[in-house]
Chain A
Amino acid sequence: MTQAASSAGPVRPGTPSARPDAAARAFGITPEDYMLPTRGQIQIIDEQGRVRPAAEQGTAPGHEYPLPEGPELLAAYERLVIGRRVNDQNSALVRQGRMAVYPSSHGQEACQVAAALCLREGDWLFPTYRDSVAVMTKGVDPVEAMTIFRGDWHGGYDSLQHKVGIQCTPLTTQLLHAVGVAHAAKLRGEDTVVLAMCGDGATSEGDFHEALNFAAVFQLPVVFFVQNNGYAISVPLSAQSAAPSLAHKAVGYGMAGERVDGNDLVALLAVLDRGVELARNGSGPLLVEAHTYRIQAHTNADDATRYREDAEVQAWLAKDPVIRMRTYLRDGGLLDDATEQRIAAAAEATATTLRDGMNAEAPIDPQDLFRYVYTTPTPQLVEQSARLADELSREEDTK
């Protein structure tokens, strides 16, 4: 994809001159064309791994997408395979008691991979608790990423180094942080793009509304990426929203919305690459809804059989994003045996790293309780820290 050559510089927020019409026209489309989502989902590779004819990709004027290049697709497939391995390894580690909890994105790996790969260095990602694979795909060390679920601290990686927010549990609160990061960048005239992730249930939250509205009013370069996996723990989408689609919500804010098959990595890359490019060129925010499915329960503590039928799960297994992508790449001659072996080895190496990391006993320092509450501990915290140290030393003495 082409990269923006120039930045627009500081723009007075909310003024008509900040509107994206010019940038949109540069892509040969009008705001009316691109603002409303397509009637169905954009799908480039079908469930059998075949390229759909252009007329059947679900596109419309303003919604045509070029097929990403082979090397980009192969690199994405490698991350997809690693992502699947990460999900399965982490679920196993939870069962073995090595992690407190793991919200698996099994089945949603195409979304995870595309969300990170559409960004370039310096762009920010704001993930939820289920987006560990996206976090790792953005370059975060797997063991550091899993610190939050191993339970020895809340955030294990350096957000500033990786430009990745801490995986966020309070729903959609992180979307506003994405808006703030983008706003700061825009005020300084930088061309940073921010991708903010949430799920279908989260779109009911107030911060979802406030984030989209702020991003649109200030014309900020934020791509809001909703993984619609059909359920908010147990509550189905039909009980969550009466909108024609979640992507349609964008129109009310004056931003474009797009719907895409969330198990089609090719379509995801095409749509998100375009969205990021538009945002970087000053078109303002974009809302992308990806239709996908959480194959496993919400977490290991959840029992999905209480709210969904096995037949439904089986139907989605047939749409598996990894198998589909592999078929497409193999049939197109883009993936040979040697490459597959290399990718499998890379996935296994990541799994080994995770096993070693989670099985190691990370040193825990109880004084960390007090160390980071403020940049400098208050006198009260100094006192409490001394009290805990004393208590621990007395325990040590009686051993």
Chain B
Amino acid sequence: MSQTATPQTATAQTTADVPVAAAAARQAGSRAGNAGIPAALTTLGPVTFAKALNTALADALEADPAVVMFGEDIGTLGGVFRITDGLTARFGRNRCFDTPLAESGIVGMAVGMAMNGMRPVIEMQFDAFAYPAFEQIASHVAKMHNRSRGRLKMPMVIRVPYAGGIGGVEHHCDSSESYYAHTPGLKVFVPATVADGYRMLREAIDSDDPVMFMEPKKLYFSKEQVDLEALRAEYEAGTSRAEGRAAVARSGTDATLIAYGPSVPVALAAAEAAAAEGRSLEVVDVRTIVPFDDETVCASVRKTGRAVVVAETPGFASVASEIAARVQERCFHSLAAPVLRVTGFDVPFPAPKLEHYFLPSVDRILDAVDDLQWED
């Protein structure tokens, strides 16, 4: 089977309009000339992922006076990615404000605020800069409800711009979701579409449990044809629940690609390329790693009989490992081949000019699909 097809005419919903350097880095080294997201589709719709998140934050501030936002540079500047753009001006400095530059301080203060009736939504500026806060997250955010037998709730959201694909320098591109997913007491949400950006952030803020909200930063400026008014109405009517509900992002019959966050568009592009070659791939978007939707994932795998897990994270002891294990535990008799994984290598996140070697690509996914023992 040919592995050189590049999906020029993909109809995938999500497109990317990422910075030029990132796009160049992505395209530089893939043997297919494209690491995943079709560059041609940048004009589909008017709403960016960033705008959807910004709207969700504004709507949450509007809906509940207990919601308060703080972090580094999120006030006057609107955040380095502008996700909180305009919120301080609109809601005032008591609702959205800058803090001293100290991540443990930000998370620890949020714990106290949550104990005292607030619903903090805080921003870690980048994935790897959240590590100083890890003690607060692992020892308090995750455990407070359990330690107190449910008396102390932790209704807080920790927003983490995360993962690579933007040509970022070191410490700006880590896939840190596995650390959090491994910590009982945390929920881990990873939206992959503009619409999910809105609805999952609203849901995270309304959750009485703490949510690590992982924002794939390479998708910030991707666009989608969505109606934010309709999304808001849908959310407020309670008909758009995403927590614990994976989504079938593309239907197929031959094999299932299981992905989340930044890997979903790559998986969709791979499915498009495979379709051109006559192979029908289903794509399941996990959406919330914790809680995990075994049902939807396994229903898809039982239907197709084959599965590849796609994730940007280094694969060893990762969320991708967990998904692969869960699928084979539950779907063994439906499987025609072992569950494979396409992940980053087990190396520190590479320098910008090397990241395209590291990131799961359409080609790697198609190679893995080829390896799913199609012939007896």
Would you call B254 an interface residue if the criterion is a C-beta within 8 Å of the partner chain's C-beta atoms? no
Contact B104 A160 (CB under 8 A): no
Tell me which residues from 42 to 99 in chain B have a Cβ below 8 Å from any Cβ of chain A: 68, 93-94, 97-99
CA distance A275 to B117 in the complex (A): 25
CA distance A153 to B94 in the complex (A): 37
Contact B94 A176 (CB under 8 A): no
Contact A173 B139 (CB under 8 A): yes
Residues of A within 8 A of B132 (CB): 206
Q: Taking A173-B139, A183-B112 as contacts, is the C-beta distance between A378 and B105 under 8 angstroms?
A: no
Partner of B116, one of A166, A184, A372: A184
Contact A176 B111 (CB under 8 A): yes
Q: Taking A155-B149, A177-B115, A207-B105 as contacts, is the C-beta distance between A217 and B100 under 8 angstroms?
A: yes
Would you call A159 an interface residue if the criterion is a C-beta within 8 Å of the partner chain's C-beta atoms? yes
Contact A372 B99 (CB under 8 A): no
Partner of A153, one of B110, B112, B149: B149
B340 → A minimal CB distance (Å): 23
Would you call A139 an interface residue if the criterion is a C-beta within 8 Å of the partner chain's C-beta atoms? no
Would you call A374 an interface residue if the criterion is a C-beta within 8 Å of the partner chain's C-beta atoms? yes
Partner of B105, one of A155, A213, A372: A213
Contact A378 B97 (CB under 8 A): no
Contact B94 A187 (CB under 8 A): yes
Q: Taking A214-B109, A373-B184 as contacts, is the C-beta distance between A180 and B116 under 8 angstroms?
A: yes
Would you call A21 an interface residue if the criterion is a C-beta within 8 Å of the partner chain's C-beta atoms? no
CB-based nearest B residue for A369: B146
Would you call B352 an interface residue if the criterion is a C-beta within 8 Å of the partner chain's C-beta atoms? no
CA distance A213 to B184 in the complex (A): 30
B148 → A minimal CB distance (Å): 5
Contact B104 A207 (CB under 8 A): yes
Residues of B within 8 A of A181 (CB): 112-113, 115-116
Residues of B within 8 A of A373 (CB): 145-146, 184-185
Interface string of B159-198 (1 = CB under 8 A from A): 0000000000000000000000000110100000000000
Residues of B within 8 A of A12 (CB): 93-94
CA distance A206 to B100 in the complex (A): 14
Tell me which residues from 93 to 152 in chain B have a Cβ below 8 Å from any Cβ of chain A: 93-94, 97-100, 102, 104-105, 107-118, 120, 132, 135-136, 139-140, 143-152
| B interface residue count range (under 10 / 10 to 19 / 20 to 34 / 35 or more) | 35 or more
Q: Taking A180-B110, A373-B185 as contacts, is the C-beta distance between A159 and B151 under 8 angstroms?
A: yes
Contact B290 A378 (CB under 8 A): yes
A18 → B minimal CB distance (Å): 11
Residues of B within 8 A of A159 (CB): 115, 148, 151-152
CA distance A158 to B152 in the complex (A): 8
Would you call A154 an interface residue if the criterion is a C-beta within 8 Å of the partner chain's C-beta atoms? yes
B334 → A minimal CB distance (Å): 19
Would you call B217 an interface residue if the criterion is a C-beta within 8 Å of the partner chain's C-beta atoms? no
Contact B135 A173 (CB under 8 A): yes
Would you call A210 an interface residue if the criterion is a C-beta within 8 Å of the partner chain's C-beta atoms? yes
B317 → A minimal CB distance (Å): 18
Residues of A within 8 A of B145 (CB): 372-375
Count of A interface residues, CB-CB < 8 Å: 44
Contact A180 B112 (CB under 8 A): yes
Contact B149 A380 (CB under 8 A): no
Residues of B within 8 A of A371 (CB): 149-150
Would you call B292 an interface residue if the criterion is a C-beta within 8 Å of the partner chain's C-beta atoms? yes
Residues of A within 8 A of B149 (CB): 153, 155, 368, 371-372
Contact A173 B140 (CB under 8 A): yes
CB-based nearest B residue for A180: B112
Residues of A within 8 A of B109 (CB): 176-177, 179-180, 183, 214
Contact B292 A176 (CB under 8 A): no
Partner of B112, one of A14, A155, A179, A374: A179
Contact B151 A176 (CB under 8 A): no
Contact B112 A206 (CB under 8 A): no
Partner of B68, one of A177, A187, A213, A375: A187
A310 → B minimal CB distance (Å): 37
Residues of A within 8 A of B150 (CB): 371-372, 375
Residues of A within 8 A of B184 (CB): 373
Contact A372 B146 (CB under 8 A): yes
Contact B112 A182 (CB under 8 A): yes
Q: Taking A173-B136, A177-B112, A177-B140 as contacts, is the C-beta distance between A210 and B102 under 8 angstroms?
A: yes
Interface string of B279-297 (1 = CB under 8 A from A): 0000000000011101100
Shortest 3 CB-CB contacts between residues of A and residues of B: A180-B112, A176-B108, A210-B105
20 pairs across A/B with beta carbons < 8 Å? A160-B115, A173-B140, A176-B104, A176-B109, A176-B136, A177-B111, A179-B108, A180-B110, A180-B114, A181-B112, A181-B115, A187-B94, A206-B132, A210-B105, A213-B102, A214-B109, A372-B150, A373-B145, A378-B244, A380-B292
Q: A176-B105, A375-B153 are in contact. List 18 more A-B contacts (CB 8 A).
A: A13-B93, A13-B97, A153-B149, A155-B147, A166-B147, A173-B135, A179-B112, A180-B108, A180-B120, A207-B135, A210-B104, A211-B108, A214-B100, A214-B102, A368-B149, A372-B149, A375-B145, A380-B292
